[in-house]
Chain A
Amino acid sequence: MAEEFEPKIVAFLCKWCSSAGSDLAGVSRMEYPANVVPIQVMCSGSISPLYVFSAFNKGADGVLVSGCHPGDCHYIKGNFYARRRLKMVKQLLEYIGLEPQRFQMSWVSAAEGTKYTQVIKDFVKELKPLGPQTKLRRTT
Chain B
Amino acid sequence: MAKIEDLKEEAKKLLREGKVKYIIGYGVGGNGWTAVPVFIKKPEDVDGLIWDPTCVHNLARFLVDEKRRKAKEKQPDARPVGIIVKGCDSRAIVVLLQEKFIDRKDVYILGVSCEKAGVVDDKKLAKKLKEKKPKKIELGDNGQFIIDTDGGKVEVPVEELLAERCLECKANFPVIYDVLSGDKTKRAVDKPFGSLEKIEALSSEERWNFWRAELEKCIRCYACRSVCPMCYCDECVVDSINMAVAADTSAEEKAQKIKWIQRSSESSENFVYHLVRAIHLGGRCIDCGECERACPLDIPLRFLNKKLEKEAKDLFGYEAGFDSSLPALISCFKDDDPEDFIR
Contact = CB atoms under 8 A, between A and B. Distances in A.
Contacts of A91: 307-308, 311, 315
Nearest to A98: B208
Interface centre among B199, B206, B343 (most CB of A within 10 A): B343
Q: Interface size class for chain B?
A: 35 or more
A128 interface: no
A120 to B, nearest CB: 10
Interface stretch (B88-96, B112-120, B327-335): B327-335
Interface stretch (A2-10, A19-27, A103-111): A103-111
Contacts of B268: 57, 135-139
A39 B276 CA distance: 21
Contacts of A104: 341, 343
Interface string B298-318: 000000100110011001100
A89 B311 CA distance: 10
B207 interface: yes
A92 B272 CA distance: 12
Contact of B331 (A81, A95, A136): A81
A94 B210 CA distance: 13
Contacts of A107: 342-343
Interface size class, chain A: 35 or more
Contact of A87 (B200, B276, B338): B338
Interface in A87-140: 87-100, 104-107, 119, 122, 135-140
A62 to B, nearest CB: 13
A96 B208 contact: yes
Contact of B269 (A57, A80, A81, A84): A57
Contacts of A87: 311, 315, 337-339, 341
A49 interface: yes
A85 interface: yes
A92 B275 contact: yes
Contacts of A98: 204, 208
B204 A99 contact: yes
B62 interface: no
The A interface, classified by DSSP as helix, strand, loop or mixed, is helix
B282 interface: yes
B308 A80 contact: no
A135 B269 CA distance: 11
A92 B308 contact: yes
A84 B343 contact: no
A32 interface: no
Contact of B272 (A88, A106, A136): A136
A48 B237 CA distance: 11
A70 B339 CA distance: 10
Contact of B279 (A77, A92, A119): A92
B271 A96 contact: yes
Select the residue from B237, B268, B315, B342 with max chain A CB neighbours within 10 A. Answer: B342
Interface of A: 48-50, 53-54, 57, 70, 77, 80-81, 83-85, 87-100, 104-107, 119, 122, 135-140
19 contacts: A57-B268, A57-B269, A83-B337, A83-B339, A84-B330, A87-B315, A91-B315, A92-B279, A92-B308, A94-B204, A95-B307, A97-B207, A97-B212, A100-B204, A105-B342, A106-B343, A107-B343, A138-B269, A140-B266
Interface of B: 199-200, 204-212, 237-238, 260-261, 266-269, 271-272, 275-276, 278-279, 282-283, 304, 307-308, 311-312, 315-316, 329-331, 333, 335, 337-339, 341-343
> What 5 pairs across the A-B complex have the smallest Cβ distances?
A97-B208, A80-B333, A106-B343, A97-B207, A49-B279
Given A48-B237, A105-B341, 16 more contacts: A50-B238, A53-B272, A54-B272, A70-B339, A77-B333, A85-B279, A87-B311, A88-B279, A91-B311, A92-B278, A96-B207, A96-B275, A99-B204, A106-B342, A135-B212, A137-B268
